[in-house]
Amino acid sequence: MSILILLRTLKKTSSCLYTFPMKAIILGSGTSHGIPVVGCDCPVCRSDDPKDNRMRASLFVQGRGGESIIIDTGPEFRLQAIKAKIKKLDAIFLTHPHADHLHGLDDVRPLSREKPLPVYGNKSTIDEMTERFSYVFRETQLGGGKPRIEPAVVSEPVRIGALTIRPIPIKHGILDILGWHVSEGTAGAESAGPIPNGLLYLTDCSAIPQESVRLLPKPEILVIGGLRVKPHGTHFNFEQALMAGVELGAAKTYLTHICHEHSHKEIEDYCHEFCKKRENLNTETGPAWDGLTLSL
C-alpha cells in the first residue's frame, strides 16, 4: 500500500473512530469566588502564575469512542468549553445546585441543538435546577434561545457509550450531594464483574459515608475538593482531602475547589510535605489546575 493510500485510509478511519484513551480535563479548579477574586489584591489574586487563575470547579471527560460528558456547569462554562475545544456533549452530571456548579447551564445551548442533553443529579439538585431554570421548561416566544435539556433523577449507574458513570453519595456540610465515579467498560455496570478503578470526582466534599466507600474500588485518579489549610465547616481542608485519598487507596490524588489563600506552588509544597511525613505512601498528590489533562 502506498503512503498516500495509507494516509487516506487513516484519515477515513480517524473521522469515525476515536483511538485515544479515556481522558479528563480540569476545566476549573477554584472555589465559589473564582480566582482572582473580585476586588481582592492578595498575592494569589495578583499572581503572574497562570496556575493561580482558577475558574469555578468543573470536569470534562471523554471516552475512547468520543463519548463526552461534563460534571457541573459553573458560571464560566462557555469560556471553559471554548478553551478546551469542546465540540459535543452527550450528558451533564451535577454534583449539587450551588451557583458555582450550576449557573452556566444555559450555555450548553449550542451543544444541545442536535439532541436534548440529559442532566443527571439527585432529587434535591434536579428539583432546584428545574425551579431556577424554569423558563427552559415552559413555552416561550419563537427565537427565545434556551438549552434543550432533560432532567433525570439518578441513583444507579448511567451508561454513555462505553463510559459508566456512578453516583456516589457524599456530604457537603449537612447537604446530601453526589460525587461521580467514571470508568470505561461494562464490568460492574450490568455485569457482576468488579468495578474498574477509573476516576473519582468528589468536589465540595466534607464527609464520605462508609456506604459510599464500600461502593468504590481504589481509584486510579481521585480529584477531590480541598479548600485550604484551615478547617472549614462544609469542605475538606487539604489534610482531610489528602487523607481521604490515602484511605480510598487512590494512585493519584489532585486537590480542586481551591480558595485564594494559597498559591499553586505553596500547595505543591504542602502536598510534598504531606507525603514526606508518611513513610511507604504509595500515592502521588498535588493541586489540580485549570487545563490539567488526565489520561486513564
DSSP strand pairing (68-71 vs 91-93): parallel
pLDDT at 185: 76
Assess if residue 151 is contained within a domain. Answer: yes
Residue 224 belongs to some domain of the structure: yes
Does residue 60 contact residue 79 with C-beta atoms inside 8 Å?
no
Kindly indicate the confidence band of residue 8, based on its pLDDT and cuts at 50, 70 and 90: very low
The share of the chain scoring above pLDDT 90, in percent, equals 83
pLDDT tens for each residue of 90-103: 999 999 999 999 99
Q: Is residue 233 part of a domain?
A: yes
On whether residue 17 sits in a domain, the answer given is: no
- Is pLDDT larger for residue 57 or for residue 141? 57
d(CA 296, CA 284): 15
| Residue 75, in any domain of the structure | yes
Specify the residue for cell string 506552588: 265
pLDDT tens-place string over residues 71-96: 999 999 999 999 999 999 999 999 99
Q: Do the domain assignments include residue 285?
A: yes
Of 18-27, 170-179, 265-274, where does mean pLDDT reach its minimum?
A: 18-27
Q: In which domain, by residue range, is 213 found?
A: 23-295
Q: What is the CA radius of gyration of the chain?
A: 20
Q: Report how many domains make up the chain.
A: 1
CA distance 75 to 179: 19
Rounded to whole angstroms, the Cα distance separating 164 from 91 reads 12
| Residue 274 belongs to domain with CATH number | 3.60.15.10
